[in-house]
Amino acid sequence: MRIATWNVNSITARLPRLLAWLESSGTDVLCLQEAKIAEAQFPFDQLRELGYEAAVNATGRWNGVAVISRVGLDDVVKGLPGGPDYEGVEEPRAVSATCGPVRVWSVYVPNGREVGHPHYAYKLQWFEALKAAVAGDAGGSRPFAVLGDYNVAPTDDDVYDVAVFEGLTHVTPAERAALAELRGTGLSDVVPRPLKYAHPYTYWDYRQLGFPKNRGMRIDLVYGNEPFSKAVKDAYVDREERKGKGASDHAPVVVDLDV
């Protein structure tokens, strides 16, 4: 079983690449972030033609997440139970579903913007709610994983130059502590490091030749419980999908399971 996570940075802009990638990669379940589209405009028909169904939590031009599956889609939960609002709005940042033998969450953690900004406090509150929401499944006997764009680099080795990020979000002790507390529910990072290259980044800014110069960050993560982690046979970042015209600024992270 092949499960992936990918921040596509607008499914409208990336749809031809998304459909081609699903076919070529043989992915069974894709957790997608930054759909940037209302659910009514989501490309259900195009995905159905390839044998996929989708659970979508999306409301418009910002945020939006989905679970896309060709192995079943049951017990869908849209939104983060107990999650905080931001400026009175419950943002579409989480959706969960059972896909065959595995239960997954697709999450798009708030960016935080800058330290001290209300969005940064919201980010930490969102992590607290995520920890509470997944704790039961994290400690369970069924393979379970939380996949997505966490907007946190777990260690200094997960950014191309930590000095560049001094005082900025994504690397602060509070954000990394929130990640550690999430892992404390019974989850672990299932993507090995290093992979086939020294720094398995997943995101490269469009600006200043970020990708050609490999000025990246590893912020797209797959955190699985013990049954999920034990089933992992391989994992990789599909850097090829970050190349070329019209690419997202994130690459897919792919995990193969024996379940």
Catalytic residues: 108, 149, 250
Which residues 6+ apart lie within 8 Å of 235 measured at CB?
Answer: 190, 191, 192, 195, 222, 253, 254, 255, 256
Relative orientation angle of helices 173-183 and 118-138, to the nearest 10 degrees: 10
What is the distance of C-alpha 178 from the center of its chain?
Answer: 16
Buried b (16+ CB within 10 A) or exposed e, 189-220: bbbeeeeeeebbbbbbeeeeebbeeebbbbbb
- The answer to whether the beta carbons of residues 165 and 159 sit under 8 Å apart is yes
Which residues 6+ apart lie within 8 Å of 151 measured at CB?
Answer: 108, 109, 110, 111, 112, 123, 169, 170, 219
Q: How far is 88 from 91, CA to CA, in rounded Å? A: 9
DSSP 144-205: EEEEEE-S--SSGGGBS-GGGGTTSTTS-HHHHHHHHHHHTTT-EE-S-SS-SSS----EE-
Binding residues: 7, 34, 149, 151, 249-250
Binding residues for Mg(2+): 7, 34, 149, 151, 249-250
